[in-house]
Amino acid sequence: MKRPVYITGSGLLCARGRSPGAVANALWAGEHSCTGRRLGTRDFPYFSMALPETDWLARAERALVSVAAQLAPFAAETPLFIASSSFQIGHFEQQGAPFDLPVASASFSRRIGDWLQSSGPRYSFSTACISGLSALEAARSLIAGGQIDEAIVIGCELANNSTLAGFAAMELLSQSTCQPFDAGRDGLVLGEAVAAARLSAQPGTWRISGLRTGIDAYSATGPDPAGGPITRLMADCLKEAGWGRPRSN
């Protein structure tokens, strides 16, 4: 059994706005201002969400509840697929050493479920930069296979120094501002955001026609220079979506 899967709702909170529409309008207007975040003796530009709370958990709860509220009401038993590369590390940092670590970082997913008054299964995904896609693929696969009918996929990256320190150690961070695709760009600008998508077997405006994730294990730090793994992945995705090579006359 393989059913089509649709995106029937979305939510977003980030430095650019409090909804997908507001963020789209800001981006079209060229808005790219940011605040800053100090790490040791260095200051870096940083995209912070405009929230009043200073307590890390209270701030996280407000952000996640706000994004979930942008979706149409969903049943409490709807499965949650929660993606993050950092989970609640910012909370641990705020406590200061020493502190007690939970049995697993997935405990944050249980907390998120409680905040959203959800009683369904909670799945956790932490696969670095593709955490969100991993969660989407898992949810899509279960719906397509008829095992569940609906899912809420949540991606969250909330302020913490550990992620910032990792990118700073690799000298990948900008000293000025965010300038994507600009010849004068000098690095990345990190930030925080929470986003959600509602997936369903019921028809909606958007259908997921192709989705693939994979691992390029060429080396610990870089991809295959010949591009083989990513080429095969893209080909599989396009094939699933029904996009073939154009015929020559």
Same domain, 241 and 190: no
Phi first, then psi: what are they for 144, rounded to 5°? -60, -35
Residue 44 has a pLDDT of: 96
CB count, 10 Å around CB of 21? 12
For 66-95, write each residue's pLDDT tens digit. 999 999 999 999 999 999 999 999 999 998
Q: What's the domain range around 117?
A: 6-208
- With b for 16 or more beta-carbon neighbours within 10 A and e for fewer, the 201-231 pattern comes to beeeeeebeebbeeeeeeeeeeeeeeeeeee
Residue 103 has a pLDDT of: 66
Same domain, 17 and 140: yes
Same domain, 188 and 226: no
Residue 245 has a pLDDT of: 61
For 165-203, write each residue's pLDDT tens digit. 999 999 999 998 888 889 999 999 999 999 999 999 999
**Cβ atoms of residues 79 and 153 within 8 Å:** no
Residue 180 has a pLDDT of: 84
Same domain, 36 and 98: yes
Return the CATH number at 62.
3.40.47.10
Residue 106 has a pLDDT of: 72
For 225-240, write each residue's pLDDT tens digit. 999 999 999 999 999 8
Same domain, 237 and 124: no
Is the confidence at residue 10, as pLDDT, over 60? yes
Residue 217 has a pLDDT of: 87
Query: What sign results for the dihedral spanned by CA atoms 216, 222, 227, 228?
Result: negative
Same domain, 134 and 18: yes
**Cβ atoms of residues 234 and 50 within 8 Å:** no
In the three-class reduction of DSSP (H, G, I as helix; E, B as strand; rest coil), residue 51 is classed as coil
For 100-152, write each residue's pLDDT tens digit. 776 666 789 999 999 999 999 999 999 999 999 999 999 999 999 999 999 99
Residue 32 has a pLDDT of: 87
Same domain, 41 and 159: yes
Same domain, 56 and 78: yes
Is the confidence at residue 96, as pLDDT, over 60? yes
Same domain, 239 and 120: no
Same domain, 103 and 151: yes
Same domain, 76 and 148: yes
In this prediction, residue 1 has a pLDDT band, given cuts at 50, 70 and 90, of low
| Residues in the chain, overall count | 249
Q: How many domains does the chain have?
A: 2
Residue 247 has a pLDDT of: 53
Same domain, 183 and 223: no
